[in-house]
Amino acid sequence: MALSKIKAIAFDADDTLWENETLFRNAEHEFCELMKNYLPPEECNRLLFEVEMKNLPLYGYGIKPFTLSLIEAAITFSDGKIPMEAVQILIERGKKMLQEPVKLLDGIEDTLASLSDRYRLIMATKGDLLDQERKLIKSGLEPYFHHIEIVSDKTEVQYKKLVNHLDIGVEQFLMVGNSVKSDILPVLAIGSHAFHIPFHTTWAHEVVNEPVNHPNFRLLESSTEMLELL
Amino acid sequence: MALSKIKAIAFDADDTLWENETLFRNAEHEFCELMKNYLPPEECNRLLFEVEMKNLPLYGYGIKPFTLSLIEAAITFSDGKIPMEAVQILIERGKKMLQEPVKLLDGIEDTLASLSDRYRLIMATKGDLLDQERKLIKSGLEPYFHHIEIVSDKTEVQYKKLVNHLDIGVEQFLMVGNSVKSDILPVLAIGSHAFHIPFHTTWAHEVVNEPVNHPNFRLLESSTEMLELL
């Protein structure tokens, strides 16, 4: 694969640069604990995912949509019987999540430091702009990135716009991320390159089960492996 | 003023392209009606603004932060005594706001149609990306814009980044908007041009009382006046 042509590399943010999914999984676990008088944890997890999926087209991604879905779920699952303190706890929980310290993934800073000398690096995320900007600043990784691209969803159309916006050809673009569905498949489909670096936890919405097999694709264990390839 | 140098024009979205503030004012009015057993409407409005301002740095702008602030305020103002149905009403109210039809301001479509032949037009907003994209598509105005720029706040630093990103000089950039605080003052401060088109309602957070006096500034009554100047 012609990696020698690459000019710009876009990194997904959550679970590629820093830990994120674990925060949501912990919050869901706590939520289902809070709800245990009304329904068993497994059912709670399953139904909560349904509420999130129903709200996704309207709310989009991030902690604020998640908090609103938790409040809605708490009322529905308890048939309105949950005490008001629980709603207050959920609001406070959401605020705490927004202020959580950023935990960088192993090796990512060294990888970015080395690549930023030779490539234009972009952070490309479908999260909430304010929240992602805050995390980027807290992370100390900001100096390595040329700019942030926020997209409302990671589709072929959005990636084509992104590549056009960078004023390069599709064959000069490489995307790096932890989600096959969002960071890999649409990127390969437009003729660009994609590196998949799995994170140990993947949100059910992002899970893809078939293995990827494509000349422009590589599966890596950690971002530091990028330095051997580029 | 050297308007002949202008190459790119950025339009604010809410209350510049379409009505927005009225939706929030109506929602606040309904909220304080819902709360009338706990506190008088004027106090409710004043305290609600305090809650919104306290949450702004963490939540940012838009309907989801607003909904979360309303739920928090309902619990606080009623000392936890508000019935759970009220929280449900607030969540549904927020979802309805996200799906509201877009009401274009008078003359804006003709103005954009005429200017888009001669200038690069950008939509520059600090709202929520998903929500603003949805409104742009619903509005039918999308074909006139080169792209959308979402900023977490409209400050001098953010405008400088925007102008750099457009690859033009500050003297070639014109911002058009309804908020003196967000769309005018920081733009004039970096040496660009700004047209203020007031909307009949301005959010308290955006109100600036001193009149603007600057060679790069114009106060217009409607967007169609732009066509006489450019």
Chain B contact set for A59 (CB, 8 A) = 64, 98, 130
Same domain, A123 and A171: yes
- Which letter does DSSP use for residue B181 in this model? I
Same domain, A178 and A108: yes
Q: For residues A16 and A19, what is the distance between their CA atoms, to the nearest angstrom?
A: 7
A1: helix, strand or coil: coil
Is the CB of B68 less than 8 angstroms away from the CB of A67? yes
CA distance B94 to chain A (A): 10
Chain B contact set for A72 (CB, 8 A) = 88, 91
CA distance B214 to chain A (A): 31
Q: Domain ends where: B98, B122, B155?
A: B98
Quick check: B35 and B28 in contact, CB under 8 A? no
Same domain, A107 and A146: yes
pLDDT digits (tens, 9 = 90+) for A23-68: 999 999 999 999 999 999 999 999 999 999 999 999 998 999 999 9
Same domain, A14 and A83: no
What is the residue-wise DSSP string for A120-150? Answer: EEEEEE-S-HHHHHHHHHHHT-GGG-SEEEE
Quick check: A185 and A216 in contact, CB under 8 A? no
Buried b (16+ CB within 10 A) or exposed e, A76-111: ebbeeebebebbebbbebbbebbeeebeebeebbeb
CA distance A14 to chain B (A): 18
Same domain, B216 and B109: yes
Question: Hey, CA dihedral for A55, A65, B101, B32, is it positive or negative?
Answer: positive
Is the CB of A68 less than 8 angstroms away from the CB of B64? yes
Q: How many domains does chain B divide into?
A: 2
Mean pLDDT along residues A71-99: 97
Q: For residues A174 and A192, what is the distance between their CA atoms, to the nearest angstrom?
A: 6
CA distance A37 to chain B (A): 17
Q: For residues B224 and B208, what is the distance between their CA atoms, to the nearest angstrom?
A: 24
Alpha carbon of residue B52 to chain centroid:
15
CB pairs under 8 A, 24+ apart, for A212-216? A212/A180, A212/A184, A212/A185, A212/A188, A214/A188, A215/A1, A216/A1, A216/A188, A216/A191, A216/A192
Is the CB of A84 less than 8 angstroms away from the CB of B84? yes
| Domain that residue B89 falls in | 21-98
- The C-alpha angle A43, A48, A51, rounded to 5 degrees, equals 130
CB-nearest partner of A84 from B65, B67, B75: B75
- Which letter does DSSP use for residue B212 in this model? P
Q: What's B11-47 look like in SS3?
A: ECCECCCECCHHHHHHHHHHHHHHCCCCCCHHHHHHH
Looking at residue A207, its pLDDT comes to 75
Sheet with A193-196: list strands edge to edge: A147-150, A120-125, A8-11, A173-177, A193-196, A217-219
CATH number of residue B150's parent domain: 3.40.50.1000
What's the pTM value of the predicted model, to 2 decimals? 0.89
Same domain, B35 and B146: no
Q: For residues A23 and A28, what is the distance between their CA atoms, to the nearest angstrom?
A: 9
Which band of pLDDT confidence, cut at 50, 70 and 90, is reported for residue A204? confident
Please state, for a pLDDT cut of 70, what percent of chain B lies above it: 100
Which band of pLDDT confidence, cut at 50, 70 and 90, is reported for residue A1? low
Segment (H or E) for A63: helix A63-77
pLDDT digits (tens, 9 = 90+) for B69-93: 999 999 999 999 999 999 999 999 9
Q: Domain ends where: A98, A124, A142?
A: A98
CA distance A64 to chain B (A): 7
Alpha carbon of residue B96 to chain centroid:
19
Q: Domain ends where: B77, B98, B119?
A: B98
Nearest to B201 by CA among B13, B20, B51, B48: B20
Same domain, A69 and A131: no
CATH number of residue A50's parent domain: 1.10.150.240
What is the phi/psi pair of residue B219, to 5°? Answer: -100, 120
Mean pLDDT along residues B93-98: 96
Q: For residues A31 and A42, what is the distance between their CA atoms, to the nearest angstrom?
A: 12
Looking at residue A141, its pLDDT comes to 97
Chain A contact set for B155 (CB, 8 A) = none
Q: Is the pLDDT of residue B187 over 70?
A: yes
Looking at residue A165, its pLDDT comes to 85
Same domain, A218 and A175: yes
Looking at residue B173, its pLDDT comes to 98
pLDDT digits (tens, 9 = 90+) for A104-131: 999 999 999 999 999 999 999 987 888 8
Which band of pLDDT confidence, cut at 50, 70 and 90, is reported for residue A203? confident
Mean pLDDT along residues A142-171: 91
- Which letter does DSSP use for residue B222 in this model? S
CB-nearest partner of A60 from B80, B84, B130: B130
Quick check: B28 and B150 in contact, CB under 8 A? no
Chain B contact set for A136 (CB, 8 A) = none
Q: Is the pLDDT of residue B1 over 60?
A: no
Which residue has better confidence, B2 or B40? B40
Looking at residue A154, its pLDDT comes to 93
Instruction: Identify the closest residue of chain A to B64 by CA–CA distance.
Output: A64
| Number of CB pairs, chain A paired with chain B, less than 8 A apart | 80
The CA distances from residue A52 to A55, A63, A156, A201, B68, in Å, are: 5, 11, 23, 18, 16
Q: Is the pLDDT of residue B203 over 70?
A: yes
Same domain, A139 and A208: yes
| Residue B125 neighbours by CB under 8 Å, 6+ apart | B12, B13, B14, B132, B148, B149, B150, B151
Same domain, B52 and B137: no
Quick check: A22 and A185 in contact, CB under 8 A? no
- Which letter does DSSP use for residue B101 in this model? P
Chain A contact set for B82 (CB, 8 A) = 84
Same domain, B84 and B121: no
Is the CB of A65 less than 8 angstroms away from the CB of B64? yes
Same domain, A85 and A119: no
Is the CB of B129 less than 8 angstroms away from the CB of A147? no
Is the CB of A80 less than 8 angstroms away from the CB of B85? yes
* Averaged pLDDT score across all residues of chain B: 94
Q: For residues B174 and B165, what is the distance between their CA atoms, to the nearest angstrom?
A: 14
